[in-house]
Structure 1
């Protein structure tokens, strides 16, 4: 799996904000040009994903429908862009534009839940590890390091191989399996970040004051420390999401992720390269490639804008 974005800027810039501070931070983020640009790009991708069924209805082209008579030449080569097929067709006579739009739904359907699950697991582990130094911290940190040591692609290939029944069909839905595989690796980055934040917070006066008046440790973690950690962890969620979208595309490209005929940017790019039809119909490759580039660029721009607000000296 691709290496996670660096944790140091978030740790260095961390300041436990109050409600007013968080509101001012949101306003500052929206005032940052790169963050606004990222929000616009991501908004366009989300809108395209939501309107995919509308586009399919307007064109009369479903994501898996084949139009061999209209979209393929006599020699079997796919047609290029035209009034009926705006981005042309693939080797099976399917509309590239419609499949690209539905591919956005798959990327978001995998990326958002996988990153959210990773956030929940990693934040819980980091809270406990950071607040309880000593044996518990060492044990959880060791578990995090062990999880980080597993190679992403090899582990994914192994899990996919185990997901085959006696009839050769998958036991668990491939989309769900991809979400679980990505979450299995991504939670470690959230755990490291959260632990670092909690180590800083546990020596703050408000924590010592709460303990001195008899507040239980679980209540202190949930009611006092967690709200101060969540803003930074939520920022990191936006930074980690494009990494996980690329991870899904990588698995689909290798044939162990979302399987055809379901449209995914990864398996669309893999099919274009495997058949070499992009040489005569470049939009077969450029359609999903540009869509993936815009999505990753948008989320990275949001993350860059947020980092500029939290750490203007970085």
Structure 2
């Protein structure tokens, strides 16, 4: 899907913003493989470019939330004390807030401000990242609390290894499997949340295409019933992408987790 979205538009004869008054709401055919929308734009080309935007938002959200959650979780689990209490109370506070209603309110506030379409993409990434990091932070903290009392960590203390070497050389590498799984889940969740926001008109806004605002173009009953090519392609793309990302995460976890390898034997 990522390769298709990245390179597909290069071979498309149509531009994503090219309109044609004579080709409005045309069904799929030889000229327009997935039909055209209410402005006569090629749905296939816009679907690919929308995929770029949605995947970029998912990846940027993953990088930001994983970096923040991983570091805070590691500090919380390793240091303990007041740092642990402060970080965990902050994580608990964020996790008690319903994500979608909060994003809807934040998106509505952004709609009142004069942000460019590109700036809105980065604002969506920041909002999603701030809601996603506590999940990873709590998991990493729990993993480190469990690992630091294991025999191999006690041995590192006896050997006199520095705190930095114990943390980065022995503790954090053992949290990689859970990091990989949570990173893939963060991408999938970000794509779903961005699609929901854009569908409501509060995320990525036209003319910048995303899978969510492409589905919003079929918001009338007539479009839903008679023009399925407007909403089915982005809906199917979201479904396939999210399922593929989750399967990839499970496969990487099985490949990286030593427990899984021992169980397979």
User: TM-score, normalization: structure 1?
Assistant: 0.75
Give the Cα separation in 2 of the matches to 1:216 and 1:307: 29
SS of structure 1 residue aligned to 2:2: helix
Cα drift, residue 240 of structure 1: 2.9
- Select 1:109's aligned residue among 44, 56, 70: 56
2:19 aligned residue: 66
2:115 aligned residue: 170
CA contact (8 A) 1:88 1:281 kept: no
Give the Cα separation in 2 of the matches to 1:266 and 1:217: 46
1:301 aligned residue: 247
SS of structure 2 residue aligned to 1:215: coil
CA contact (8 A) 1:100 1:288 kept: yes
1:100 aligned residue: 47
Cα drift, residue 210 of structure 1: 2.5
Q: How do 1:141-290 and structure 2 match up within 5 A?
A: 141-163=88-110, 168-170=113-115, 173-274=119-220, 276-290=222-236
CA contact (8 A) 1:80 1:89 kept: yes
2:26 aligned residue: 79
Cα drift, residue 268 of structure 1: 0.7
Give the Cα separation in 2 of the matches to 1:110 and 1:246: 11
- Identify the structure with the greater helix proportion: 2
Give the Cα separation in 1 of the matches to 2:110 and 2:215: 24
Cα drift, residue 211 of structure 1: 2.7
| Aligned length in residues | 258
| Residue segments in structure 2 that go unaligned for 5+ positions in a row | none
CA contact (8 A) 1:130 1:196 kept: yes
2:73 aligned residue: 126
The 10-residue stretch of structure 1 (154-163 or 89-98) with the greater mean CA deviation from structure 2? 154-163
Give the Cα separation in 1 of the matches to 2:224 and 2:4: 23
Change (3 A) 1:190 1:147: same
| Residue segments in structure 1 that go unaligned for 5+ positions in a row | 1-44, 73-77
Give the Cα separation in 1 of the matches to 2:67 and 2:79: 19
Give the Cα separation in 2 of the matches to 1:276 and 1:158: 29
